[in-house]
Amino acid sequence: MYPEIEPHASGHLETGDGNLVYWEECGNPSGKPVVFLHGGPGGGCSPSHRRLFDPSAYRIVLFDQRGCGRSVPHASVSGDLSLNTTWHLVADMEKLRSSLGIDRWQVFGGSWGSTLALAYAETHPSRVSELVLRGIFTLRSSEVDWYYRGGAANLFPDLWEKFTEPLAGLSGDPVELYTKLLASEDPEVHGPAAVAWSTWEGATVTLLPRPELVAEFAVPEYALAFARIENHYFVHRGWFEEGQLIRDAVRLKDIPGVIVQGRYDIATPAVSAWDLHKAWPESELVLVPDAGHAYDEPGILSALLEATDRFRG
């Protein structure tokens, strides 16, 4: 990765509805604009994300999506997510682009970030110079069913048991049951539920176990915002029609793009990347043979850096 850098500008975007969205700029103020979209939803940006781009060539824009990171109100404090939807985030991106005086930008997103990138690019294709996507997630029912309704339990029965511990004695859809637990005002209820939801992801996103990553996902404030926002989006199916992002990929035909996908990605299995590539044949698909889901697994990181280097000119 490129060396560590600090922002040269930052602030909070006023959305007009009470949300303040944190943003920052790094790299070359006169460089090629790129916007980084973090995962989750609800994951937030970290300093390491700045290092995916050549700072001498790129004007690097990062922002924390509504309710997480340094944006306010934080979902660990406010459980009201009625103004937090995919289309609110797409509108936030357009407002941020305009406020920064950017005409077109490269859009880089992984996992949920790929979902948001596709939603944005299919809505505003003229504003996107390139797409760099990783760990494709389109919020089709089959994708959520696989990861949160028992499919992946066949590979991780021990971890699935931990994920379902807060649901003991309850019956019904795990995703909807978690909605009730996470909305509880009782910290003894929503706290353990949030950590169980969050650490299920932290424990399964890498090909090989990374206990330090699981520990990061278990930090209570982070876990609560992460779990509440993810669950909110998944219960509402991203506010998409079934299969919408694959169906509308024809709108991307004039946008150069690279799709990087780990062969053994459990969180977002490779079939979605394959289906997207088939619907968007102008894209390049890179299937990394020895990787899971995380952006910083060696093969995935190498492919992402190769893509951002290629598009920097």
Name the residues annotated as catalytic.
Answer: 111, 265, 293
Cα(216)–Cα(289) distance, rounded to whole angstroms? 26
**Nearest Cα to 41, choosing from 99, 92, 97?**
92
Exposure letters 57-92 (e unless 16+ CB within 10 A, then b): bbbbbbbbbbbbbbbbbbbbeebebeebbbebbbbb
* The amino acid at 224: L
Contacts 24+ apart (CB under 8 A), 76-80: 76/220, 76/221, 76/222, 76/224, 76/225, 76/228, 79/182, 79/183, 79/228
| Phi, psi dihedral angles at 128 (to 5 degrees) | -115, 120
Bridge partners (DSSP) of residue 13 are 21
The single-letter DSSP state of residue 68 is S
User: What length is written for the chain?
Assistant: 313
Query: What tokens appear for 221 in the block?
Result: 């404030």
CA distance 220 to 224: 6
Q: What are the backbone angles phi and psi of residue 236, rounded to the nearest 5°?
A: -95, 10
Q: Which of 137, 136, 134 is nearest to 305 (CA)?
A: 134
Task: Give SS3 for 128.
Answer: strand
Distant-in-sequence, close-in-space partners of 293: CB < 8 Å, separation ≥ 6: 111, 135, 204, 205, 206, 262, 265, 266, 267, 268
